Amino acid sequence: MTTPTIAKKSKRQIRIQVTNTFLTGLTWFLVFTLMVPILLMLLTSVRPRADITSSIAPLIPTVWHFENYVKMWQTLKFGPLFVNSMIVVCTTTLVATFFAAMAGYALARFRFPGADAYSLVVTGTQMIPGTLFFIPLYLTFLWIKNNLGIPLVGNNLGAIVLYVGFYTPISLWILRGFFAAIPPDLEEQAMVDGTNRFGAFIRISLPLAIPGIVSTAIYVFLSAWNELFFGYTLGVKTVPVGVRAFIQGAAGTQLRYDYMAAASVVVTIPIAILFFALQKQFISGLTSGAVKS
């Protein structure tokens, strides 16, 4: 190997090393930037109330007030709110993901009149802000409650129906792409071996689409868990609605940002556990539907 070739190869290796070092440093910088709000929330949750609004208070509190978590839990009655949120969110996730999987598979596999138009309409609904539907939806829910006796206002059922209606269209659009990426030949071979279309869906397509279904379920769970506006206006006692009480001072005579931060930390725990438990499926779901076979 000649000297110019060695020098050229050495320069290329140096360039690659410099690029990798730069990208690594940039990644750590972005991670640190994203972690700053979380660290501030953790520090605020253990600060004394007077230090939160003080301009001379140290960044790291000298005395850590872990009793903020206990007082927050007692003041807000956080336990029932947490259980109520889990009921609403888990039910919404299961129902919306189930409907989206059925409809997404149908749109990906069957050609029928209006299929493309329907897909376009479903996608177009996501461009309209949900708050525009608030008044007609609220009046409709009141009419149903007063005339049919179905408690859609001030009850978990109303929030579940609303969330399922809001999150199913985008979930359907996502899962349609995952089912379309699965080769139809696999289902045809299963049907040749004696199973029917539904059996091929259950035994072949559904297991292969698990990463996409998990990703969609996580999306629905996170969206429903963090939703505040409709939950508050419908009178549903969820965690975001309860935490809002500290912002407006409804949980006491004064604003308690320390309790609000403590509640935010507790609310984040289920999300973190869910993500770390299903991160492999989530990441796989984000990438597996990107290329159509």
Give yes or no: residues 169 and 247 share one domain: yes
* Residue 224 structural domain: 67-288
Residue 62 included in any domain? no
Q: Which residue has the tokens 């889990």?
A: 86
Residue 211 included in any domain? yes
Give yes or no: residues 93 and 18 share one domain: no
Residue 252 included in any domain? yes
Evaluate if residue 201 carries a pLDDT over 90: no
Residue 219 included in any domain? yes
Give yes or no: residues 128 and 13 share one domain: no
Report the alpha-carbon distance of residue 101 to residue 263 in Å, rounded: 34
Give yes or no: residues 22 and 151 share one domain: no
Give yes or no: residues 98 and 26 share one domain: no
Give yes or no: residues 26 and 120 share one domain: no
**b vs e for 132-157, b when ≥16 Cβ sit within 10 Å of the residue's Cβ?**
ebeeebbeebeebbeeeeeebbebbb
Evaluate if residue 76 carries a pLDDT over 80: no
Residue 122 included in any domain? yes
pLDDT band at residue 9 using 50, 70 and 90 as cut-offs: low
Give yes or no: residues 18 and 147 share one domain: no
Radius of gyration of the chain (CA): 25
Chain centroid offset of residue 278 CA:
13
Give yes or no: residues 33 and 83 share one domain: no
pLDDT tens, residue by residue, 236-259: 888 888 887 777 655 554 677 888
| CATH number assigned to the domain comprising residue 150 | 1.10.3720.10
Q: Considering only residues 115 and 230, tell me which one the structure prediction assigns the higher pLDDT.
A: 230
pLDDT band at residue 93 using 50, 70 and 90 as cut-offs: very high
Q: What total number of domains does the chain contain?
A: 2
